[in-house]
Amino acid sequence: MSGPGPERTSGPQPPGNPDRLYILTGGQERPAATPQLDLVTLIVSRAESDTGLAPELAAVVRICDFPLSVAEISAYLELPVSTLTPLLTELLSEGKVEARPPVPAAALPDVQLLEAVMHGLQKL
């Protein structure tokens, strides 16, 4: 009754698996922005990933044995930051990861140089 024809033409196939993003955050469709997490906050895991965790949480714990910024985790896992934030908050509250403020810019270049960069970029 339904040949393979309509199957093929039923639009682009979404990649990956049947999960939707709103499932990951446990139903928080509007995750409250936690002040302590922003894009450059470094996350480092405090525990080994165990099997009881959801795959995303386990992956975060696994790849964060080395400090990674939130933005990097987001890019690696291909999860939007807004999805990642509640997950990280959950991990933080369980003590499985630790959030560190970004590395302070100890050797910050002087303002003149930055301005020069800015002007140079604008000229491009």
Q: Could you give the CA distance from residue 38 to residue 85 in angstroms, rounded to a whole number?
A: 8
Q: Kindly state whether residue 59 participates in binding other proteins, applying the rule CB under 8 A.
A: yes
In the chain, the amino acid numbered 74 is S
Least Å from the CB of residue 90 to other proteins: 14
Q: Does 35 bind other proteins (CB under 8 A)?
A: no
**Coil/strand/helix, residue 69:** strand
Q: Give the contact letters, 14-33, x = binds to other proteins (CB under 8 A), - = no.
A: xxxxxxxxxxx-xx-xxx-x
**CB-based contacts of 49-56 (< 8 A; 24+ apart in sequence):** 53/96, 54/24, 56/24, 56/87
Among 36, 47, 48, 55, binds other proteins (CB under 8 A): 55
Q: DSSP character for 12?
A: P
Q: Considering only residues 36, 47, 48, 75, which one is a binding residue for other proteins as defined by CB under 8 A?
A: 75
13 touches other proteins by CB under 8 A: yes
At residue 36, what is the residue type? Q
Residue 95 in the binding site for other proteins (CB under 8 A): no
Burial class, 71, CB count within 10 angstroms (exposed 0-12 / middle 13-18 / buried 19+): middle
Site residues (CB under 8 A) for other proteins?
1-2, 6-7, 9-24, 26-27, 29-31, 33, 39-40, 42, 51, 53-56, 58-59, 62-63, 65-69, 71-72, 74-83, 85, 102-103, 105, 107-109, 113, 116-117, 120-121, 123-124
